[in-house]
Amino acid sequence: MRVVKVGGSLREAEALMQALAQSAGSLIVVHGGGPRIGAWLERLGFETRFHQGLRVTPPEQMEVIEQVLTQTGKVLASLLTRFGREALGLSGRDAALLKARPKDAALGRVGEVTAVNTALLEALLEAGLTPVIAPIGMDEIGPLNINADTAAGAVAGALSAPVVFLTNVPGVLADPTDPNSLYPELTRAEVHTLIQNGVIAGGMIPKVKAALAALEAGAPWVRIASGTPAHARNALNNTSGTRIIP
């Protein structure tokens, strides 16, 4: 079993879901939705702000964000089913799948996972279904917007399962301008050193921090790889991207 995090763009979703559907073994898919969320918020006249790489989520925007994420999950689940892997779109609301707490008052309704209903996920996998999870958490007040990388890492850690982050880069690079400078494997300590030395910078920092958090939570390893369909197949076969180990 592996947890796979995919982006929320539906542009290449059909080819990517076909690649995932044809992969061997059980999968749990966690997805994002950033581009579609941004488009809907703009369409409805809401301002979009980010703080430390996370979308600031005022309570009045939470309903829109939840609707977009939930619909995205249903679309991805239907594509997986069409390609032969029966899937079920879920939200963290369902059966208290993702319990959460607010992360930082400055972020509004942005959360971090405190508990995962692993029994639900294991039951679905046992029934031959692939869970497709929209990263919505719940606290005693209501829904929370959770970063998809963070949510995937929390699910993987709770299940002691490896996690593959499919992203817009081929993995961790020694030189961001040279795709041939890929690190095939890094330890937790090496990642910290590369961050301190400025080799890992910018948008890669949240990704590797989510990877380290997944390891801390119990995932045996994490792979960061390109989310293009061809590379995704290779990543699921452990032949592309950067593997991060404890």
Query: Which residues are identified as catalytic?
Result: 5, 8, 34, 149, 207
DSSP H/E element including 166: strand 163-167
φ, ψ for residue 61, nearest 5 deg: -95, -15
151, 115, 127: which is closest to 26 by C-alpha? 127
DSSP states of 188-215 as a string?
HHHHHHHHHTTSS-TTHHHHHHHHHHHH
94, 99, 73, 86: which is closest to 126 by C-alpha? 86
Strands 222-226 and 163-167: parallel
171, 174, 170, 173: which is closest to 211 by C-alpha? 171
Task: Please say whether the beta carbons of 146 and 113 come within 8 A.
Answer: yes
Binding residues: 33-34, 55, 145
